[in-house]
Amino acid sequence: MADSHGKHAKHGTEGEGPLARTALRFTAFTEKWLPDAFGFVLVGTFVVLVFGLITGEPLLKRPDDPAATKGYGLVDAWGLGFWSLITFTLQMAMIIIGGYAVATSGPVARLITRLARIPKSPRTAVAFVAAVAMLASYLNWAFSLIFAAILAREVARNVPKADYRALGAMAFLGLGTVWAQGLSGSAALQVASASSSPAPVQEVIRAGGHASGLIPLSDTIFTWQAIVATLIVYAVGVTMAWFVAPGEGNAKTAEDIGIELRPLIGRGSPYNGQRVDGAEDEQRRPGDWLEHSPLFSLLVVLLGALYLVRYFDGKSFFNALDLNTVNLILFLLAMLLHWRPWRMARAVRDGAPAAAGVLLQFPLYGGIFGMIAYTGISARLAGWLVQASNQFFFPPLVAIYSCVLGVFVPSGGSKWVIEAPYVLDAANQLHVDAGWMVVVYDLGEASANLLQPFWMLPTLAILGLKARDIMGYTFTMFLACFPAALIAVTLLAPHVTG
């Protein structure tokens, strides 16, 4: 692999357009000078602490009323917030693992093989991967990271003259465009679920007119305005993918980069649920029958399906959908697709490392949330946003702010918890619908993923690429998709009724 990247490196930016050259230089700068995501949250903790001290917040103080959620000093607020995201942390970890388990099952691998035969030319191959990746991310962002990466590899094997870097970038496109507007959008699911939304956020939502302290999905991602905005970004993404795909003369194929593309289905494939030696398919002792028999997997699926039928009975599907329900559906689907318990267990084991960043960083994000939500910082930031904007310009201002902050805090769910108290408070003061602000936040937050490599890592690992190989393309896509999102949230905002 080292030789392959050396071969790639000698080409530099020759044959690339000015936007791609700029993006590659930007990537080189960030890889050299910026810390990883864990470094960002460590630094961010003390940036917020110092900001609080500078703006007059006490370091050590407890409110007179023990039940109060405001008025703490920064140290106590940090401690109160540190474990406030524990439920949400597990929910997000399970979304990642469940998405991975579904994407690496045998039936899904066979689906990918069929889909990969559809595009016939290099340009259509790149646009096709972009379109499928965005659809997959709308269903589940974690699933799409694995599914689209495997699809890109298989498409590259069927269309060998397609630019492998462009295919890799398009496999990630869903995380930079529509994922947060879909069924696994963490901000929308969080405000729809009492178990995931912290009490201070629910208080602000109540103040905005939602008596339950929650905002159902029918008021966020499933409003017609949100669907139209999502379709606009989707159309721009597919169109741009078509135009940024290089011709055969300028393309760097998988072979040029030194990537070996093995068949997806067949012995020796790492993605079809079989070990190279097939050892795990063998029953070595009588007690192995349990993990090799599908009986109890099917019983668990039936048990879960019965519960879901009863859960949704008499309810609006979209109003009742929350993080717990999405995770249960993913879990049951993975159990069914893997069929045998040992395959499910191995898929979860293989997918667990992808959740390591969430487990490590989210408690620290909770501490930052505590320092903002349990002190006067939240109200102060809300006041500044109100002063800097008005009802018309507040949505695009929040989208830009969310995107900029997302470059440095690459986590939609935990970052939303940090920002929600003051963003929603400002929205209440400007009479902007709280549900629409979740939509606006989501579109801005997603765009940031095209500018930083944190969530690219699972996709890159499957593709055998590095961030510098694809970020020229993701940066180019950002220059089209983010303005499209800004225009959409600005023009559609007057049609939203709070």
Instruction: Quickly tell me which residue has 């135009």 as its tokens.
Output: 243
Residue 461 CB burial class (10 angstroms; 0-12, 13-18, ≥19): middle
Q: Convert the pLDDT of each residue in 151-204 to its tens digit.
A: 999 999 999 999 998 999 999 999 999 998 988 787 888 888 787 788 888 988
Number of H helices, E strands in the chain: 25, 0
C-beta of residue 359 within 8 angstroms of C-beta of residue 95: no
Q: Assign 336 a pLDDT band (cuts: 50, 70, 90).
A: very high
Distances in whole angstroms, Cα of residue 479 to Cα of each of 79, 127, 193, 240, 407: 40, 17, 34, 10, 15
Q: Convert the pLDDT of each residue in 443-485 to its tens digit.
A: 988 998 998 776 787 788 788 888 778 888 898 899 999 999 9
pLDDT at 250 over 80: no
345's enclosing H/E stretch is helix 341-351
Q: Convert the pLDDT of each residue in 267-319 to its tens digit.
A: 444 443 333 333 455 556 666 777 888 899 999 999 999 999 999 887 767 66
The average pLDDT across 60-89 equals: 83
pLDDT at 55 over 50: yes
| C-alpha angle 138-451-109 in degrees, rounded to nearest 5 | 40
Residue 148 pLDDT: 93
Characterise 142 by phi-psi region: left (phi > 0), alpha (psi -120 to 50), beta (else): alpha
Q: Which of 62-66, 87-91, 142-146, 434-438 has the lowest average pLDDT?
A: 62-66
Quote the tokens at residue 359. 């487990």
Residue 8 pLDDT: 41
Q: Convert the pLDDT of each residue in 114-166 to its tens digit.
A: 999 999 999 899 999 999 999 999 988 878 888 898 899 999 999 999 999 89
Residue 362 pLDDT: 83
Residue 176 pLDDT: 93
Residue 265 pLDDT: 59
C-beta of residue 396 within 8 angstroms of C-beta of residue 77: no
Q: Assign 335 a pLDDT band (cuts: 50, 70, 90).
A: very high
Q: Report which of 189, 423, 214 is spatially closest to residue 328, judged by C-alpha positions.
A: 189
> How far is residue 376's CA from residue 394's CA, in Å, rounded to a whole number?
22
Neighbours of 264 (CB within 10 A): 19
> How far is residue 167's CA from residue 473's CA, in Å, rounded to a whole number?
10
Residue 6 pLDDT: 43
For 244-267, give the DSSP string.
HSPPTTT---HHHHT-----SSST
Which DSSP category does 58 fall into? -
Backbone CA torsion sign across 24, 28, 34, 38: positive
Residue 278 pLDDT: 39
Backbone CA torsion sign across 48, 49, 53, 59: positive
Quote the tokens at residue 119. 């595009």
Between helix 323-338 and helix 341-351 the angle, nearest 10°, is: 130
Q: Assign 3 a pLDDT band (cuts: 50, 70, 90).
A: very low
Quote the tokens at residue 166. 């462009």
Residue 387 CB burial class (10 angstroms; 0-12, 13-18, ≥19): exposed
> What's the mean pLDDT when you consider all of the chain?
82
Q: Assign 33 a pLDDT band (cuts: 50, 70, 90).
A: low
> How far is residue 198's CA from residue 213's CA, in Å, rounded to a whole number?
10
DSSP H stretches of helix in 208-316: 224-244, 254-257, 289-292, 295-312
Between helix 434-448 and helix 224-244 the angle, nearest 10°, is: 20
Residue 2 pLDDT: 40
Neighbours of 390 (CB within 10 A): 11
Backbone CA torsion sign across 393, 224, 423, 457: negative
The average pLDDT across 207-229 equals: 90
Residue 5 pLDDT: 45
Which DSSP category does 127 fall into? H
The average pLDDT across 1-6 equals: 42
> How far is residue 75's CA from residue 380's CA, in Å, rounded to a whole number?
18
Quote the tokens at residue 203. 């208080």
Work out the percent of the chain whose per-residue pLDDT is above 90: 29
Torsion, CA 407, CA 408, CA 412, CA 418, rounded to 10:
-140
Work out the percent of the chain whose per-residue pLDDT is above 70: 84
Q: Convert the pLDDT of each residue in 362-381 to its tens digit.
A: 898 888 888 887 888 877 87
C-beta of residue 359 within 8 angstroms of C-beta of residue 93: yes
The average pLDDT across 66-85 equals: 84
